[in-house]
């Protein structure tokens, strides 16, 4: 797609938003990525890593468990003794590596559960393991040993003892030594509990001035999309379909080029809050319980708030996050009135329902475009969705549906490719 609007976006703020979002899946992992990033930053500084490597390490630490697609994956890795180098770290690598600027961070993520094993762990499966991977493993394991509810300074001796007992076996001795030296500073420990706010590290690393634009930004947004959608095969192409459908409808509604770009991004990110919904629920074959359904319904609330710190994405956020608001005021989570729902949000809403109806779900097969349209027409008659947008879809059904199909066909290829690579990488190495 063509982009006419230069979007300058602080990359680190985006990374932190994503880091926070993937930790919404369970209160037990709350702040895990931010805490690991904080620890990795302290260790990296202590080891005097060059600036670039430190930056890659902090990005890797901020996103290292994104390949833990289910809640079970995430909780399993909370066990200090967890040592599976072929689990979520491989998927994390595959999700992150297509985005060029994260290539080195992705390599670190890939091997962050490889034990040092007295030097054997300098390589894995014939590939060199970056020292950042070992440092990340140390930061990760240390982060899970910290109990933020207790007095962190009281915990220092116990944590050090546990880490030091595995120096050489699991952790690189020089890195453990760096930790021992750093551990004398109370500020290091206090930062891990009190300074896990979104932008603290960005300010420290003076990253405010690092910005990306246009194609790179789209690349990063697509990285978000893959992390959101690839948690389940049933949603694996959803946001790509919604983005393409919404953009196509926006063009037919004569949106400007820059607004078409914004609505495309809104489509890619509209279900960002689904990261808070465990994949176990997304994949459940039967009817959801009341409680599970309530968890699913929270997703738009989270989409709205996760993106809040990014002022530059305000319109993307509003158009994306209101997609379950309803013209009759009975939508969720804000129960907005008709005049409070912008046209961009109404288009995303129609695109979302249209796309979802055509997709298979664990409990039903997808409908044909023409049948999905009939259901939308029914919803518009009941004043749930914008009737003019539905009328435009009806008039241009083949064209819009064609655009949707193409986008989802591309996304399915991408998904299958990643699943295949993941099989290969975990098979070859085992």
Catalog residues that contact Fe ion under the rule CB under 5 A.
65, 140, 271, 352
d(CA 164, CA 405): 55
Minimum Å distance from CB 296 to Fe ion? 8
Residue placing its CB nearer to Fe ion in the complex, 10 or 66: 66
Residue placing its CB nearer to Fe ion in the complex, 172 or 277: 277
Secondary structure letter of residue 150 according to DSSP: S
The distance of Cα 369 from the centroid of its chain, to the nearest Å, equals 29
d(CA 224, CA 218): 10
Minimum Å distance from CB 223 to Fe ion? 18
d(CA 58, CA 36): 9
Minimum Å distance from CB 206 to Fe ion? 26
**Angle between helix 314-321 and helix 257-269 axes, rounded to 10 deg:** 60
d(CA 264, CA 240): 9
Q: Tokens 């985005």 sit at which residue?
A: 99
Residue placing its CB nearer to Fe ion in the complex, 19 or 218: 19
Number of H helices, E strands in the chain: 22, 4
What contacts 6, CB < 8 A, 6 or more positions away? 213, 214
Q: Tokens 């990261």 sit at which residue?
A: 275
Minimum Å distance from CB 136 to Fe ion? 9
Residue placing its CB nearer to Fe ion in the complex, 131 or 298: 298
Minimum Å distance from CB 228 to Fe ion? 9
Minimum Å distance from CB 213 to Fe ion? 27
Minimum Å distance from CB 293 to Fe ion? 13
Residue placing its CB nearer to Fe ion in the complex, 10 or 372: 372
For residue 178, CA distances in Å to 139, 170, 183 come to: 12, 15, 8
Residue placing its CB nearer to Fe ion in the complex, 140 or 259: 140
Minimum Å distance from CB 111 to Fe ion? 13
DSSP conformation letters of 384-400? SS-HHHHHHHHHTHHHH
Residue placing its CB nearer to Fe ion in the complex, 191 or 271: 271
Q: Which long-range contacts (CB under 8 A, 24 or more apart) does 202-211 make?
A: 202/10, 202/12, 202/13, 202/16, 204/41, 205/12, 205/41, 205/54, 205/55, 205/58, 207/10, 207/11, 207/12, 207/55, 208/10, 208/12, 210/10, 210/11, 210/12, 211/8, 211/9, 211/10, 211/11
Minimum Å distance from CB 324 to Fe ion? 6
Residue placing its CB nearer to Fe ion in the complex, 65 or 414: 65
Minimum Å distance from CB 211 to Fe ion? 28
Q: Collapsing DSSP states into helix, strand and coil, what is residue 85?
A: coil
Residue 242, both tokens: 């919604």
Minimum Å distance from CB 61 to Fe ion? 9
d(CA 3, CA 237): 22
Residue placing its CB nearer to Fe ion in the complex, 10 or 271: 271
Q: In angstroms, how far apart are the furthest CA atoms of the chain?
A: 70
d(CA 6, CA 4): 7
Q: Tokens 């959101």 sit at which residue?
A: 228
Residue placing its CB nearer to Fe ion in the complex, 37 or 218: 37
Residue placing its CB nearer to Fe ion in the complex, 10 or 274: 274
Q: What are phi and psi of 9, to 5 degrees?
A: -125, 125
């Amino acid at each position: 797609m063509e982009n006419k609007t230069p979007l300058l976006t602080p990359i680190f703020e985006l990374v932190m938003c994503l880091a926070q979002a993937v930790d919404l899946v369970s209160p037990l992992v709350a702040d895990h990525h931010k805490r690991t990033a904080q620890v990795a930053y302290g260790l990296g500084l202590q080891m005097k890593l060059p600036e670039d490597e430190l930056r890659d390490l902090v990005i890797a630490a901020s996103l290292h468990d994104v390949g833990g697609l289910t809640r079970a994956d995430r909780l399993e890795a909370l066990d200090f003794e967890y040592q599976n180098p072929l689990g979520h770290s491989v998927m994390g690598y595959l999700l992150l590596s297509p985005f060029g600027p994260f290539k080195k961070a992705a390599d670190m993520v890939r091997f962050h559960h490889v034990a040092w094993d007295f030097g054997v762990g300098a390589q894995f499966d014939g590939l060199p393991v970056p020292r950042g991977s070992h440092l990340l493993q140390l930061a990760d394991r240390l982060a899970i040993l910290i109990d933020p509810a207790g007095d962190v300074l009281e915990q220092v001796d116990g944590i050090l003892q546990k880490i030091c007992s595995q120096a050489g076996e699991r952790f690189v001795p020089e890195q453990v030594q760096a930790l021992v030296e750093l551990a004398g500073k109370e500020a290091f420990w206090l930062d891990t509990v009190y300074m896990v706010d979104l932008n603290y590290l960005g300010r420290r690393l003076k990253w405010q001035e690092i910005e990306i634009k246009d194609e790179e930004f789209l690349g990063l947004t697509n990285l978000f999309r893959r992390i959101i959608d690839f948690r389940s095969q049933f949603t694996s192409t959803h946001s790509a379909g919604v983005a393409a459908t919404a953009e196509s409808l926006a063009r037919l509604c004569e949106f400007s080029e820059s607004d078409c770009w914004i609505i495309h991004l809104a489509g890619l990110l509209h279900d960002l809050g689904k990261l808070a919904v465990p994949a176990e629920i997304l994949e459940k074959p039967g009817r959801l319980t009341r409680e599970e359904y309530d968890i699913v319904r929270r997703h738009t609330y989270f989409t709205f708030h996760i993106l809040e710190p990014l002022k530059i994405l305000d319109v993307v956020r509003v158009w994306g996050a209101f997609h379950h608001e309803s013209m009759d005021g009975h939508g969720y989570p804000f129960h907005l009135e008709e005049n409070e729902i912008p046209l961009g949000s109404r288009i995303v809403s129609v695109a979302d329902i249209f796309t979802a109806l055509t997709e298979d779900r664990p409990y039903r097969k997808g409908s044909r475009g023409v049948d999905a349209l009939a259901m939308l027409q029914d919803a518009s008659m009941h004043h749930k969705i914008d009737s003019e947008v539905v009328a435009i879809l009806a008039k241009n059904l083949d064209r819009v549906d064609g655009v949707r199909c193409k986008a989802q066909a591309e996304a399915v290829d991408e998904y299958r490719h990643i699943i295949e690579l993941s099989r290969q990488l975990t098979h070859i190495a085992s």
